[in-house]
Amino acid sequence: MTGGEFGPGDLLPSGRDLAEEWDVSRATVVKAMDVLRADGVVVARQGAGFVVAEQPLARPAGRRGPGARTTGATAYRILGTPAEEVPPADVAAALGLPDDGPA
């Protein structure tokens, strides 16, 4: 799609064909299509399969649900604050650090 092989409204190959072409399991293809559908890149058409969306949503792949901009959420989470500590002398020497400086 991004490479231009498929354009808006184009029908994608079947899951079986994609699995064979890319030498992956059908389950992998199903998961990939679920991600593309959740990202607004493809649309499921009953009885036809998946077609490329007319206007794909502009958001990073793998993002599910409303984007951070629409929900007011942040796109990241702070897990902690890094600490500076003085390493043991043998570790400092192995890393080429001063004996009494923080790592």
Q: Which residue has the higher pLDDT, 65 or 13?
A: 13
User: Confidence band (pLDDT; 50, 70, 90) for 6?
Assistant: confident
Strand segments, DSSP code E, in the chain are: 42-45, 49-52
What confidence tens digit (pLDDT) does each residue in 38-95 have? 888 899 998 889 999 987 565 555 555 555 555 566 666 666 777 788 888 888 888 8
Q: Which DSSP string corresponds to 24-48?
A: --HHHHHHHHHHHHHTTSEEEETTT
**Domains in the chain with CATH codes:** 1-54 (1.10.10.10)
Residue 4 pLDDT > 90: no
Instruction: Specify the pTM.
Output: 0.52
